[in-house]
Amino acid sequence: MITRARKQGDSYILNGAKMGITNGSVADIAVVWAKDDDGEIRGFLVEKGTPGFSAIDIEGKFSLRASVTSELVLENVEIPAENMLPEAKGLKGPLACLSQARFGIAWGAMGAAMACYDTALNYSKNRIQFDKPIAGFQLVQHKLVHMVNEITKGQLLALRLGQLKDQGKMRHPQISLAKMNNVHAALEISRIAREVLGANGIADEYPIMRHMNNLESVYTYEGTHDIHLLTVGRDVTGHAAFA
């Protein structure tokens, strides 16, 4: 946490930068997490147009092209002390938000996987090679069965996580497990689906490459695959392996 918030009278002065912020230049209000004078992580509301606050869009993206992604820059941004979130203290505040997002990703990744699988299945039934649909060949059936097998496991994992959430029993290592597993599975499924379509798999007539590119980003954001792996590892072993 490099961004700092320095108390000055009835205001806070914020300095720092945040990368990879969805709709950063579109939003009217940003929630910025920063360390205060005591080294405590606090949340602050920063309004668009505040002097010293700017958002720079990241250009040339091959992924997440449906939304704007920005860098937020704070240079001596002065905001009223009342803009500090009163109940959010420490990492618990931002991590609670991330837990909700990661829960949603576990489901969303399966949605992308299902789109890729359905595309590959329908394509294989209509693509004729050697006088029959390629769906009739063993290797293609192997790919399709592997995809639907992984989707079914991912759906069951997300469903159980949702049940635990409804019961108030969901734990963050369980969220990490679901996010890690389902995104990894979905990315693999998108690549297998692309194989089934052959050269047509890279055409924008089909959604596979769009999902594959987006999943490459999802593999990293809201906690990288490796960090979630170590989070689960810590929960399983009782030993933290973080650097």
Could you state, in order of their start, the residue ranges of all structural domains in the chain? 4-88, 92-237
pLDDT of residue 90: 82
- Which helix (H) or strand (E) segment holds residue 43: the answer is strand 41-47
User: CA distances (Å), 127 to each of 22, 132, 145, 163, 196, in order?
Assistant: 39, 8, 18, 40, 10
- The active-site residue out of 40, 78, 87, 222 is 222
User: Token digits for 150?
Assistant: 């992984």
The third-level CATH classification (topology) of the domain covering 4-88 is: Butyryl-CoA Dehydrogenase, subunit A; domain 2 (2.40.110)
Residue 169 has pLDDT above 70, yes or no: yes
- The model's pLDDT over 67-77, given as tens digits with 9 standing for 90+, comes to 999 999 999 99
Percent above pLDDT 90 for the chain? 90
Averaged pLDDT score across all residues of the chain: 95
pLDDT of residue 91: 76
Secondary-structure class of domain 92-237 per CATH? mainly alpha
Residue 15 has pLDDT above 90, yes or no: yes
pLDDT of residue 208: 97
- The model's pLDDT over 17-64, given as tens digits with 9 standing for 90+, comes to 999 899 999 999 999 999 999 889 999 999 999 999 999 999 999 999
- The model's pLDDT over 155-165, given as tens digits with 9 standing for 90+, comes to 999 999 999 99
pLDDT of residue 243: 66
Q: What sections of the chain are H helices per DSSP?
A: 92-126, 138-166, 172-197, 208-218, 225-237
User: CA distances (Å), 153 to each of 9, 133, 150, 162, in order?
Assistant: 55, 28, 5, 14
Annotated catalytic, 222?
yes
Q: Which residues pair with 198 in a beta bridge?
A: none
pLDDT of residue 97: 79
- Nearest Cα to 182, choosing from 209, 219, 142? 219
Pairing of strands 69-80, 84-89: unpaired
How far apart, in whole angstroms, are the C-alpha atoms of residue 77 and residue 52?
5
Rg (CA), the chain: 22
- The model's pLDDT over 77-102, given as tens digits with 9 standing for 90+, comes to 999 999 999 988 887 777 777 889 99
pLDDT of residue 88: 83
